[in-house]
Copies of this chain bind each other. A is one copy, B any other.
């Protein structure tokens, strides 16, 4: 993520939830919750947990410096833990990160970041769906040319086109929600994935930690079981692709020779400095670019599945962090951009009719296709109730 390249792809609020500082803060929260969970089950003194919580509030983090130190041990967790221990000081400092390994902190923090990002991605996708539903309803009977292989096929309605976008987005939302509910789990296994240091209290600590972080409780530590990351990446990719489908149709329908929709000129978006006559569907173009980038990030994440023994040795795990951030931020960006685009899209029903008439497609009884297309629109809308 870079401000220069990504500010037009990712909304500021989502960028903040996924940036360096957000990750570092999430790692601190994991340490705080871990200490609290251990105090809760009587494994460490409550006073130590309190001291750790206070220090985490007070500490001033420099993510860039942590990043540079990460080269020594391979993760930013180690310098962060060291810094937190120093901030806590005394005996309590010794309880920081008790029984945990660096990957516990990074993975749990990643899941926190993911959950918070999803809390912004989901409303953006919902807004896309709402706009699609509104368009489907409004244009339930707006005749339009269906195009297959970009050639005129038969009549359809713009309502059905919008209903199709809607179903794609709603399907992806359901998948994303299920992944969020079932597969985002806390990570806690300790150096060897046995939690031996915590002895018989291990399972209780995992439960308490999961509850405190509002994450799922895994069957086993998943240091080298990357199913959760794979499932999340896939769901994000489907969501970006589903919103991207609407973007693609907008770009094609906005061609001057087609002219059936246009992005709003809101705030002068889509203008061209060199060609004042132009009206580019720039939101949709950027959404498509974002969907391509989200797909690349998701593919990087789904390609790291077989990892060695108890901890990845050939870079698979270390390559996940930036890709996860990208997948979250870009998917949310695609959704937010298309929510904007579809909320204000201009539909030219006259041009749709004119193109249909000029197309030379066989005459169908309007009554018939309006009825069958309308029935499909209704199905798509009913499913939402």
Contacts and interface: CB of A to CB of B under 8 A. Distances in A.
A238 interface: yes
Given A1-B2, A242-B305, A220 B163 contact: yes
Nearest to A302: B237
Given A193-B160, A372-B196, A313 B220 contact: no
Interface stretch (A45-53, A125-133, A249-257, A342-350): A249-257
Copies in the complex: 4
A275 B4 contact: no
A314 B255 CA distance: 12
Contacts of A364: 196
B282 A67 contact: no
Contacts of A1: 1-2
A380 interface: yes
A245 B373 contact: no
A278 interface: yes
A173 to B, nearest CB: 11
Interface string A259-296: 00000000111111111011111100111111111011
Contacts of A314: 248, 251, 285, 288, 306
Interface stretch (A87-95, A116-124, A149-157): A149-157
A194 B158 CA distance: 12
A323 interface: yes
A12 B298 CA distance: 27
A227 B371 contact: no
Interface string A220-257: 11111111001100100110111011011101101111
B241 A306 contact: yes
Contact of A2 (B7, B67, B199): B67
Given A2-B19, A101-B274, A372-B199, A220 B73 contact: no
Nearest to A217: B379
Nearest to A249: B309
A385 interface: no
Contacts of A42: none
A101 B317 CA distance: 34
Contacts of A58: none
A312 interface: yes
A156 B2 contact: no
A171 interface: yes
A73 to B, nearest CB: 6
A142 interface: no
A184 to B, nearest CB: 13
A191 B296 CA distance: 29
Contact of A153 (B100, B202, B311, B375): B311
B220 A230 contact: no
Contacts of A149: 74, 251, 278, 280-282, 285, 308, 311-313
A12 B71 CA distance: 12
Nearest to A313: B150
Contacts of A175: 227, 231
Interface string A138-166: 00000000111111111111001101100
Contacts of A196: 154-155, 364, 368-369, 372-373
Given A146-B193, A147-B311, 12 more contacts: A73-B280, A78-B272, A150-B313, A151-B256, A163-B220, A219-B383, A241-B305, A245-B307, A252-B308, A286-B318, A288-B318, A291-B315
14 contacts: A5-B20, A73-B280, A78-B273, A81-B273, A101-B148, A149-B282, A155-B192, A196-B364, A199-B372, A200-B371, A221-B376, A234-B238, A241-B305, A306-B314
